Amino acid sequence: MLWHPSPNFGPRRDGLTPQLIVLHYTAMTSAAAALERLCDPGVEVSAHYLIGGDGTLWQMVHEDMRAWHAGAGEWAGLSDINSRSVGIELDNRGTHPFGAPQMRTLERLLPRIMSRWGIAASGVIGHSDMAPGRKCDPGPRFDWARLARQGLACGAGAGGYGGSGSGVSVALDMGQFRANARRAGFSAPACDAVLLDAVRLRFRPWGQGPLTGADMAALPDHS
């Protein structure tokens, strides 16, 4: 791991400690460009870690400090996500798959952070999960199923990660979908269409059109 300090950080507010890990993509041309931006005092953004496409790992902010990566949003009824999370940026434009070296580094880093702070798999989330409609990273090409198989993220229900949900009998009720999504953590304000998009980004990124039974079944708790 390479230490590359960013000036863009501050103390966690109200004595908060990390309960979440938020994954992002950089949407920039290179890891070097992302590193420069995340350490630019004039931009006022940062993250705790950056993982390059080749698997190189940089740390920019100590985990006990508040990095500026999440912005406005909410998860599981909790706000000020910056004070409650560790932020990891992944060198990716959102238009291509996340490579094996990068994923292997992430898979080595996540258990260490989770162990240090007692963060459960359900606390590993995407930027789009806590800021639906405002953010879409780490995007539809990120392999959440791979993390879930290792206990490093929450798994999907029968309709997610390639499942059809065809064996699950559910009523297509948007109110029930919203309630189930909230139980899964999607508590940030969002209209029906934006919420559906956010859930699909996380559990069923190939989904299109109106709400389906597979969308209902994709949530971890759809009963």
Domain boundaries, the chain: 2-149, 156-223
Strand ordering across the sheet containing 85-90: 2-3, 57-59, 49-51, 85-90, 20-25, 124-126
Mean pLDDT of all residues in 115-137: 98
Total-model pTM: 0.95
The whole-chain average pLDDT of the chain stands at 94
Confidence at residue 210, expressed as pLDDT on a 0 to 100 scale: 95
pLDDT in tens, 168-183: 555 689 999 999 999 9
pLDDT in tens, 75-120: 999 999 999 999 999 999 999 999 999 999 999 999 999 999 999 9
Catalytic center residues? 89
Choose the weakest-confidence range: 52-66, 94-108, 134-148, 208-222.
208-222
Confidence at residue 160, expressed as pLDDT on a 0 to 100 scale: 85
Confidence at residue 162, expressed as pLDDT on a 0 to 100 scale: 64
| Percent of the chain at pLDDT exceeding 90 | 91
pLDDT in tens, 44-70: 999 999 999 999 999 999 999 999 999
Mean pLDDT of all residues in 22-38: 98
Confidence at residue 4, expressed as pLDDT on a 0 to 100 scale: 98
Tokens describing residue 83? 């004070």
Angle (nearest 5°) at CA 69 between 27 and 72 = 105
pLDDT at 167 over 80: no
CATH 3.40.80.10 fits domain 2-149: yes
pLDDT at 222 over 50: no
Mean pLDDT of all residues in 10-20: 97
Confidence at residue 219, expressed as pLDDT on a 0 to 100 scale: 95
